[in-house]
Amino acid sequence: MSSPQIPPPDATWSDGLLSLLVMTETFEDFLHELTTATVAALPPGSMCGLTVVRDERAVTIATSDTLTLTVDQIQYGTGEGPCLDTLSSGQVNHIADTSAEPRWRSLCAGALAHGVRSCLALPLMAPGGQVGGYNLYNPRPGVFEGVQARMGLYAGTAAGAVALGLRLDDQSRLNADLRATLASRSVIDQAIGIVMAQQRCSSGDAFALLSRASQNRNLKVHDLATEIVATVGGQAPGPGVFQPHE
């Protein structure tokens, strides 16, 4: 069977990925659009997913369709498959036909039961190292034969965009955690000020009183502080002086 000839990526593909990263509202939107753009470069009927390792576990962060997620989860559930091997080795793994593949028999049986015959797993290699893997599936056998090298070029270009997106997403999550920490600290500081005024004590003594009261009532210090500020002020506490720019 002759395989469809997929053109190599060019500046249009690279520029398109950068535009996607800039224009999509969320990182999740970018990843979904990336899988859709990848499918457009693949043989008809193909599907695409992106897998990364988070907390030492492989997780699918985007797919072009629900079937891809189903097959990915079969791999995670059985602990075997081309995607998992690619994540651990950084090497390309190809299944020409799940009905005849001697490797990864549990995965192949599950994929075949869902009508998937061809599989191709490609590493996403960024300058700083591997950031994840492309999982490509198709209901026809042999469709990825002879196109691994070309799709590897697509994966190499996509890897840089995914790496940047992951970094921006991590920074966004860090900023959100920082905002939450600062907001919590602000409420506690407000409560400390109230206790200092009521008890005519130092800030250290006021915090000690808050800590003991929170333990006695089995409440977090932040929750108790919120209650105190709301009771005295007649409304929920504000976010405090520090207001980070969005």
**123-161, pLDDT tens digit by residue?**
988 777 888 899 999 999 999 987 777 777 777 777 777
Residue range of the domain that includes 61: 11-172
Are 67 and 165 in a shared domain? yes
Say what the pLDDT of residue 3 is: 38
Q: Which residues contact 238 (CB under 8 A, 6 or more apart)?
A: 186
Contacts (Cβ under 8 Å, ≥6 apart) of 117: 97, 98, 99, 111, 138, 139, 140, 141, 142
Contact 4/99 with Cβ under 8 angstroms? Answer: no
The residue out of 121, 138, 172 marking a domain boundary is: 172
State residue 195's pLDDT score: 82
Q: Is residue 201 part of a domain?
A: yes
238 found inside a domain: no
For residue 209, how many C-alpha atoms fall within 13 Å in the half-sphere facing its CB? 18
CATH label of the domain that carries residue 221: 1.10.10.10
Would residue 67 count as lying in a domain?
Answer: yes
CA 148 from centre of chain: 25
Residue 243 located in a structural domain: no
Residue pair 195/206 in contact (Cβ under 8 Å)? The answer is yes
Answer yes or no: is pLDDT of 216 > 60. yes
CA 32 to CA 62: how far, in whole Å? Answer: 5
Last residue of a domain, one of 121, 150, 172: 172
Number of domains in the chain: 2
pLDDT band at 5 (very low <50, low <70, confident <90, very high): very low
Of 17-21, 151-155, 177-181, 202-206, least confident by mean pLDDT is 177-181
For tokens 């797993």, the residue is 121
| Per-residue tokens: 186 | 């602000």
Residue type, 195: V
Between residues 241 and 215, the one the model is more confident about: 215
Cut 0.75: pTM above it:
no
Co-location of 87 and 199 in the same domain = no
Task: Evaluate whether residue 5 is within a structural domain.
Answer: no
The answer to whether position 196 is within a domain reads: yes
Is pLDDT of 178 > 60? Answer: no
Residue 39 sits in a domain whose CATH number is: 3.30.450.40
Claim to verify: residue 123 and residue 184 sit in the same structural domain: no
Q: Do residue 146 and residue 180 come from a single domain?
A: no
Say which residue, 193 or 87, is predicted with more confidence. Answer: 87
Q: 180 and 145 share a domain?
A: no
- Identify whether 246 is part of a domain: no
According to the model, what pLDDT value does residue 106 have?
Answer: 94
Of the residues 127, 151, 172, the one at which a domain ends: 172
